[in-house]
Chains A and B, each alone.
Chain A
Amino acid sequence: MTFAHTIGQTRYTFPDLRALLAKATPMRSGDALAGLAATSAEERVAAQCALADLPLSHFLAEHVIPYEADEVTRLIVDTHDQVAFAPLRSLTVGEFRNWLLSDDATPERIAAIFAGITPEMAAAVSKLMRVQDLIAAAVKIRVVTRFRTTVGLAGRLSARLQPNHPTDAPEGIAAAILDGLLLGSGDAVIGINPAADDVTSTARLLRMIDGLRRRFEIPVQSCVLAHITTLMAALEAGAPVDLVFQSIAGTEAANRSFGVTLALLDEAHQAARALKRGGVCADGSTGDNVMYFETGQGSALSANAHHGVDQQTLEARAYAVARRYRPMLVNTVVGFIGPEYLYDGKQILRAGLEDHFCGKLLGLPMGCDVCYTNHAEADQDDMDSLLTLLGVAGVNYIMGVPGADDVMLNYQSTSFHDALYIRRVLGLRPAPEFDAWLEGERFQQLRLEVGNPEGLPERLLSV
C-alpha cells in the first residue's frame, strides 16, 4: 500500500510500510548507510505525518518482512493477542501516542495491552515521540523479574557487574568482581564476556562466581556471555548455570548470523528452567526468569540481513524474540556498534531512550549498556546525559565496569561509580535482596577478608 502526505506544493509518497517507517525515523547514520533514510528534513516530517494518520490495525495487515520469509515475522503474527489489542483497534499511531501520554494510560492499563502491541507498532509510535515523551511514557511501565534478586521495582536501580579481562584470567576477573561488590554493583547479574568461547573456561568462571556467592551468601545470579551452544554444553557438563545469555536481532537471517534460531532458544530456555536454580525473593516467590538477551540497533544491517527495514524497527522486532522467553534481563548495547550506525552522542542518546521505551512497551525488563566506542563522536558527558535520562525513565539496570573502561571489549560503558551516582541523585536503591545483604554481616565479612593482606582475590575465589 502506498502512503502519501503533502506539505505546501510537494506531495511525498512512500511505496510501502517499510519505506514509511524508515523515512519517518529521526536521522541516524545506519539508515543513511543502508540508503533508507529520508533525503530531506521535510520528507522526514511528511513521513511522520503520514505515519501519525495510519491506523494501528494496518500493522496487522502489512508486514515489513514477509510471513513466509522470516520466522520472527511468524512469531509476531502468530502470538499477537487480539483481546489485548481490542482497546487499540480504533486508534491511529498518532492517537496511540496521545493515549500513552494521557492520564488515562495508567501503568495497569498499559500492562494490559502488552500482548496486543507488535514491535512495528511500538517502533512507529516511538518515531513520533520526542525524548521527553519516550521518558514520560516509559516511566509508567514497570517490568519486574526475579531470579535470586528482584529487578525492576519502582524506586530501585540495579547494575550488572561486568568484570571482563582480555585473557579471562580468573584472578583478574575476581579483583574486578570484588571491587564491584564493595561498590554495590552486581544485583542485576555478575556477567562476564569471555575472551575465549569454550566450555572449559566458561564452566571454570561459573564455578568461581558460584563459590563466592555461596561463601558470602550473596543474592546474585551469574552469567558467562558465551555463545548459547557453549553455555548449553557447560550446563550439560554440570556447570552451575544461572542465566542463559544470547545476542539476538530482529530478523531470522540476522539471528542465523549469530548462530541461533527460535528452536535453539526454546531448547536452551527449557534446559535452564529445568535447573530450578532461582532463589526465594523478597516477596516470597521463587525466581524463574532465566534468560538474558542483548540487542542493539544496526546488528541486522551489519549482518547484511535487514530486508530494507530501518534499524530501529528491526531492534523492536528483536524484542518480540526476547519476550517469548520471559527473560530476567534484556539490554540494548546501544553505542557499541560504532558510528556507521549511530554516529554521535545525540544519535546514541535518542536510540538508548527509544530502545528502553519500545522494550518496556512490549513488556520487557529493559536495561541499557550506556556506551560508546572511541571512533564515535561521543564522550563521557554524553554518557552522563543518557545515564541520567534513563534513570529518570525508570531503566531496570545499567552496566558496572571498573572505571567505565572495558579492557576486553575495548569500549567505554558505565562504571560502579556511575551506578552509585544515579542511585544517589535520583534516590534509588539496589534490588531489595541485595540491598539487605549490603547492610548485613556477610557483606562486612567480605569487606574484612578483602582488606586482609592475605585475602588476595585468587585465594578468596579458590573453591
Chain B
Amino acid sequence: MTELEANPQQNHGALAARWRALTQARVGLGRTGVSLETRDLLDFQRAHAQARDAVHSRLDAVALAVELERATQFEVLRVCSACTDRTIYLQRPDLGRRLDDASRETIATLADGADYELIVIFADGLSALAVERHAVPLMKELLPLLAGWSIGPIVVVEQGRVAIGDEIGLALKAHISVVLIGERPGLSSPDSLGAYITWEPRPGRIDAERNCISSIRAEGLSYKLAAEQLRRYLTEARRRRLTGVELKLESGTERLMDR
C-alpha cells in the first residue's frame, strides 16, 4: 500500500467545500478504500438517470403547440422527421435532418404565397425536456424584441436535428431560420437548449454557415440574455445577408457546437 492510499486527506470535508466553490467539477470526492462512497455513487447515478431520461423522453408536441399558440398568438405547425422512433433517431442523423412525407405535404400546403424574413422552429433534438421547459418563456422574451419583423408560423418538429430547419425554411421561403433544439444532455444539464441561426436555409448548408447560441437554461444563459443575443444575430444576419463564421459577434457566451 502506498502512502497515498494509507492516508486519506485530513479535514477532507472542508477542503472539498473550498474546491467546489471554484469549479462545478466533481472535485474533492472522498473514498472508501479506493472506491467512491455510497452517497457520491448515487449522486452520479441520479444525474446520469436524468440525462438518460431527457434523451429518451418524447416531446409532447400537441401540448407544446397549444401552449405556444396561446402565449404567442402565432399559428403553430406540427411536423415529424423521417425517424420513426428514438432508436433510429440516435443511429441515423441523416433521417433526422429530413421531413417525413406527411410533414412535407403539410408544409407544402402553406408554401403558396409564403415569404417571411424569419421562421422559428422548435425541435426536440437530444432533450425534449429542454424544449418543453424553455420554448414559451424564451418566446415571450424574444418576440417583443422583433417588432416589425415578418415572421412565419412557428414549427414544432419531433425527432428533429438542426438541419431539418433547412428543408422547412426553404419550403416556407424564409430568409432566416432559427432552430431551437434540445442539446445533448450533460451529466448536470439535462435541459440545455441551443439556438442555430441560418441565413437562406436550404438543404446542404453546413455547420460553418450557421451561428449558434448554446446552454440556454436556468443555470446557464438566461432567457433575457439569450433573446438579446438572438436579436443581435438576427439583425446582423439581415443587414449583412449571411450567417456563419463570418458573422461571429463579440460575446463570451456563444460557441459553435457540433451539429
Contact = CB atoms under 8 A, between A and B. Distances in A.
Contact of A179 (B5, B28, B44, B188): B28
Contacts of A404: 26, 44
11 contacts: A33-B92, A164-B25, A176-B27, A340-B92, A340-B93, A374-B54, A374-B55, A374-B187, A403-B26, A405-B187, A410-B186
A171 interface: yes
Interface in B88-138: 90-94, 126
Contacts of A447: 9
A91 interface: no
Interface of A: 29, 32-33, 163-166, 169, 171-176, 178-179, 182-184, 195, 338-340, 343, 373-375, 379-380, 401-405, 407, 410-412, 415, 417, 420-421, 424, 435, 438-439, 443-444, 447, 450-451, 453, 456-458
Closest 6 CB pairs of A and B: A403-B26, A172-B23, A420-B34, A410-B186, A374-B51, A175-B19
Contacts of B243: none
Contacts of B25: 163-165, 172, 175-176, 401-403, 405, 407
Contacts of A178: 19
Contact of B35 (A29, A173, A421): A421
Nearest to B43: A403
A410 B187 contact: yes
B24 interface: yes
A29 B91 contact: yes
Contacts of B28: 175, 179
A173 B51 CA distance: 25
A278 B159 CA distance: 51
Contacts of B54: 374
B232 interface: no
Interface string B60-94: 00000000000000000000000000000011111
B27 A451 contact: no
A340 B48 contact: no
Nearest to B52: A374
A195 B187 contact: no
B27 A179 contact: yes
Interface in B31-63: 31, 33-36, 40, 44-45, 47-48, 51-52, 54-55
A403 B90 contact: no
Contacts of B18: 175, 456
Contacts of B51: 374
A175 B34 contact: no
B90 A343 contact: yes
A340 B92 CA distance: 6
Given A374-B52, A374-B186, A417-B34, A195 B255 contact: yes
A283 to B, nearest CB: 21
Nearest to B183: A410
